Structure 1
Amino acid sequence: MAETKLDLTTLVPYRDHQIASRSLSRRLGITLPLAVYAMAAGETISTETASRTRLLQCLDGELTVIFTDHQTTVEPGTMLVVPAGTAHALRAEQPCKFMQIESEVRQ
């Protein structure tokens, strides 16, 4: 496979009052889930618990990640690691783009 260069900030456009996403796993020929999201201001992704560790890399705006007992903000250039089995929700206070990679736990 030839090298692939992607501008992650332009892969998914913002849409008013919506969350848009694009999965890149198949396009890149990889097995781990990799997706880029664009969330309009005020949009949320409800609480979920993943079986894999999630890496959330903010690309634009700010992403608020809400845990059971606290919340944190992820800014552009920052990556947050959410361990497998950790309940969390996502909220965009302003338009936000982020990349999510799911990783298998090392044995």
Structure 2
Amino acid sequence: MTETKLALASLVPYRDYQIASRSLARRLGITLPLAVYAMAAGETISTETASRTRLLQCLDGVLTVDFTDHSTTVESGTLLVIPAGTPHALRAAQPCKFMQIESEERDDLH
């Protein structure tokens, strides 16, 4: 197999008043969910709770993550780890691009 390089921020364009996304798992031949998102300013993703730990890597702009009891911002170049089972919502006060990876569950932790 040959190596693959991806310019992540250029894979998904900004679209006015929309959230665009692109799944990369199939393209890369991996089983873990991996996607890149572009959120226009003012867009949100409503509260959800994932069964897997999520890694959010901000690629451009600033992403705000709202938890039940607080909010945090994720700037470009920063990685945020959201543990499995943690309710969270996403919002972009300005245009924002990020990559989301979901971890594989480990049996040895139970």
The TM-score normalised by the length of structure 1 is 0.98
Structure 2 residue identity aligned to 1:10: S
What residue in structure 2 maps to residue 68 of structure 1?
68
1:4-47: CA deviation from partner (whole Å, max 9, x where unpaired) = 10000100000000000000000000000000000000000000
1:50 counterpart = 2:50: yes
- After TM superposition, where is structure 1 displaced by more than 4 Å over at least 4 residues in a row? none
What residue in structure 2 maps to residue 35 of structure 1?
35
Identity of counterpart residues, as a percentage? 85
Structure 1, gaps ≥5 residues long:
none
What residue in structure 2 maps to residue 25 of structure 1?
25
- Shift of residue 101, structure 1, vs aligned partner: 0.1
Give the structure with the higher percent helix. Answer: 2
Structure 2 residue identity aligned to 1:3: E
Provide the rounded CA distance (Å) in 1 between the counterparts of 2:92 and 2:27: 27
Structure 2, gaps ≥5 residues long:
none
- How many pairs does the alignment contain? 107
Please give the secondary structure, in 1, of the residue aligned with 2:26.
helix
What residue in structure 1 maps to residue 80 of structure 2?
80
Provide the rounded CA distance (Å) in 2 between the counterparts of 1:58 and 1:42: 16
Provide the rounded CA distance (Å) in 1 between the counterparts of 2:40 and 2:14: 6
What residue in structure 2 maps to residue 89 of structure 1?
89
- Note the aligned Cα RMSD (angstroms): 0.6
- Shift of residue 2, structure 1, vs aligned partner: 1.2
What residue in structure 1 maps to residue 3 of structure 2?
3
